[in-house]
Amino acid sequence: MQHFSHLVGLNTILVIRVWFHKLPIFVIVLAPYYMRFFEVNSQNYCKTA
């Protein structure tokens, strides 16, 4: 059981490492969409408030 949890821990570290390497790409690609989304949301919020 201990060995299994150790394996899961290693896999988690690996996944996180890969994810962090890919993260800048996602940020660059998705940043405009997020900006637009927040812009629209803030405008709607201001209108309703």
Q: Say what the pLDDT of residue 49 is.
A: 61
pLDDT of amino acid 10: 87
How high is the pLDDT of residue 1?
Answer: 60
**Predicted local confidence at residue 34, as pLDDT:** 86
pTM: 0.37
DSSP per-residue codes, the chain: -HHHHHHHHHHHHHHHHHHHHHHHHHHHHHHHHHHHHHHHHHHHHHHH-
Would you state the pLDDT for residue 6? 80
Q: pLDDT by residue (tens digit) across 6-42?
A: 888 889 989 988 888 888 888 888 888 888 988 888 8
Tokens representing residue 37 in the block: 């989304």
- Provide the pLDDT for residue 40: 87
